[in-house]
Structure 1
Amino acid sequence: MVATKEMPRVDPAVPQAEGQVRDHAQPPAPAPPAPGRPRLALLDGLRLLAALSVVLFHWTAWHHGHWGRHGETAAEAWPWLSQFSSVGALGVQLFFVISGFVILLSSFGKSPARFIGSRVGRLYPAYWVAVLATSLLTFVIWPEMGTERTPADIPANLTMFQGGMGVGHIDGVYWTLWVEMKFYLWILAFTLIGMTVRRVLVFAVAWPLLGNVLYFILQSSGQQVAWVEHVFFPQYSALFAGGMALFLIFRFGHTPLRWVALVVNVVVGGLWSARVQQPETVELTGYDYPFWLFVGITAGLFALVAVMVLTPLARVRVPGMTLAGQLTYPVYLLHQLWGWWLIMLLSPHLPRGVVLAASLAAVLLAAWTLHRWVERPLGPRLQRAVTAGVGRLDFLSSSR
């Protein structure tokens, strides 16, 4: 989900010694960015690669039957490529790791009002357009696709909170946005009580561990675990928490405790990712890969992000990476159902490779259009309006 995170310009602060970081009520203010310093360019490119891995998973490995006249499954249409793209769903895990890092990077020291404004301005303009456009496709242009959703589900989907309302997603990929939203609510709570280095470190370990303990105790005793999944979402919390640990190392320097927090979350996140993705890959693609392959891939994704942000690669300038980061969210929002529709239209008439390239080009163009004409003009205005409106509430107007 998402893969839906903004990357502000940053200048990594000089690492501080552990004794210099104190748990005061007022969190230490981040150092202002130095003029001309680049954003984390390679991380932007990595976000787009994560989105494209999910695109290829949905287009060339998922069991839809939109390739060709005979309704072959995607894996049958792409017998070689699907062996690799079938694990592309792990791009979502990569999104969550990056989100844990980036959301702290952009929110540390911010007031609750500013945090809420930044998230609303960043997420909602493109999302509203995507929901309405996909509803048009689903209920008017391509009703033959078949869906359990109805037009009555549109208003709830426009809130992005449909997952908490028990309403289905107009587009299946929106499930990750609900997971992201729950993570943002945790971060909002942090901005209310005061975000400090020590508190973030404790939370990054306690949140996933407590959620897992509650989940397995309740499950083993035959009790309901739904509330634990909603509040702690243990299947994914370690991915966000690992990103948070990476942020602490990046922003405040290396300490043994921060690395322990990272390693704990790599282990928990890898085991949960395998537990979720291994059976889903069998069900959705037909490929039965070993459990430990998914653990290893997830650990590799953590390592990839760490290399991007904790080594000199963090300072590498790469042309086009800013645009890559900007296109990630709209590509993710638009790719699945619109991509399937294009594949269904074109595949009876053109070679499969041409169909795949044309569909990808069309989605990238649509994503650029959505970014250029919706996100850029409306996002900042909505952010300012929401920040100002929420800021009128005294308890949300300043950080603790």
Structure 2
Amino acid sequence: MLQRMTESTTTLALAPGRAAAPATGRPRLAALDGLRFLAAMAVVAYHYVAVNHSAWGARTEDSFPNLQPIAAFGSFGVQLFFVISGFVILMSAWGRDVRSFAASRVGRLFPAYWLSVAAVVLLLVVVAPGHKDVGIPETAANLTMVQRAFGVQDVESVYWTLWAELRFYVLVAVLLALGMTRNRLVAFAAVWPVVAAVAVQSDSTLWSTVLVGTDAPLFAGGMVLFLLTKERRSPVLWLVLGLNVALAGVISGRSQSLRIATSTDVTVGPQTYWIAILACFVLVAAVTLTRLDRLSWRWLTLVGALTYPLYLLHSSWGQWLIAKTSPYLPAGVTFALVTAVMLGAAYLVHRFVERPLGPRLRRAVVRDLERTSRALSRTPRAARRAQAPEPDAVSSR
């Protein structure tokens, strides 16, 4: 059993082979899986029904005049994802060392991601060429998932969120390397978003990038919500959560409202995006800090597993399918049909790509990192032995 979080000097136990749920001493949160799926469906609705594109044969506003203002709020599904990620990633890191944490993230993210890159390139180069120029250098860079660090465009527009996630993972890995204690986590969740907000307001591109910019309070707030599952009556944690909600409303909400304004015909004012950001935190708190955390419906876990591949695949291929079917079917039927096809594709990716390849990739990364660690630990000793004088030489002096 893990020691209580209230013991502020306790460092998280190292357990490289332990899965996230056992490491936290609690079962998988099925309701949180269901919430992830709802966030993904909200983003799908936003990209299909709210974003202005030509797939419908007319402006989206004209195709869905009454639904576009509602579907536009599906964009905040991304902010909900980030709050959930803060919670889940800290839960995943709990009880692990850096090697195990890094391997778990690689095994979780890359199999479906590599397939999605191949699928998008197939669409843009073979099936529907001409929409976007994608060459071998861009494709190779995108396979790394850090293409934005090299100034290379994403081959799929939704990949921008993965860049934010990766930078958050690096910060969590640094915390693991330093030793995760309760007090360090609380201090990190309080200070990091403030410094990130200062970097954003001062237009410091480097520091804003390193500190995850406008999304920092969303991740940090999710981390605090996880800590609150251990200390629900801690006034300090509730104050830090309030700080992150406020910062998220100011910078994350405003940033997302600008994205909505540039991609739709909908204007989201400050009061509205504040409510949307607050709703993201309230929803995660509801499924993790109330009796909803006891739900064990297996279908929630299944749909939660579809979230990531659905998010990766739905945008470009979905719009292409809309363009091909919308001339022959009513808009509502087209939307339902394309969404069902994307859900089916997500299930296939989960069943035949993520499930078999994820664990293998994770074990391979752990094995290689352990070999590298052993090699590096032997190097100083070998260097010292090489520098030491031979016994005969010493005795002859």
TM-score by length of 1: 0.88
The Cα shift of 1:251 comes to: 3.0
Corresponding residue of 2:381: none
Matched-pair contact (CA < 8 Å) for 2:107–2:358: yes
Is the contact made by 1:149 and 1:168 (CA closer than 8 Å) also made in structure 2?
no
- Aligned counterparts, 1:1-400, within 5 A: 16=4, 18=6, 21-24=7-10, 26-28=11-13, 33=22, 38-67=27-56, 71-144=57-130, 146-216=131-201, 218-219=202-203, 225-394=204-373
Distance 1:307 1:115, change over 3 A: same
Structure 1 segments unaligned to the other structure (5+ residues): 1-10, 220-224
* CA RMSD across the alignment: 2.3
**C-alpha contact (below 8 Å) 1:109/1:195 kept by paired residues:** no
The number of aligned residues is: 372
Return closer, same or farther for 1:61/1:215 CA change in 2, 3 Å cut-off: closer
Residues 149 and 169, structure 1, Cα contact 8 Å, conserved in 2 = no
Q: Distance in 2 between the 1:344 and 1:275 partners?
A: 32
- Give the conservation status (yes or no) of the 8 Å contact 1:57–1:86: yes
Q: Deviations over 1:222-243 (max 9, x none)?
A: xxx2102211122100000000
* C-alpha distance in structure 2 between counterparts of 1:236 and 1:166, whole Å: 20
Q: Which has the larger radius of gyration?
A: 2
Q: In structure 1, what is the Cα distance between the partners aligned to 2:358 and 2:266?
A: 41
Cα drift, residue 134 of structure 1: 0.7
Q: Any conservation in 2 of the 1:62–1:73 contact (CA below 8 Å)?
A: no
Q: Would the aligned equivalents of 2:196 and 2:214 in 1 still touch at CA under 8 Å?
A: no
Deviation at 1:147, TM superposition (A): 1.6
Tell me the distance in 2 between the aligned counterparts of 1:396 and 1:275: 48
Provide the rounded CA distance (Å) in 1 between the counterparts of 2:240 and 2:212: 18
For 2:61 and 2:261, locate their aligned partners in 1 and report how far apart those are by CA, in whole Å: 12
Contact (CA 8 Å) 2:197, 2:251: kept in 1 or not?
no
Distance in 1, Cα, partners of 2:47 & 2:120: 16
C-alpha separation in 2, matches of 1:238 and 1:359:
34
* Structure 1 counterpart SS, 2:229: helix
**Structure 1: which 4+ aligned runs deviate by more than 6 Å?**
29-32
CA contact (8 A) 1:23 1:196 kept: yes
The one-letter code of the counterpart of 2:76 is: L
Identity %: 42
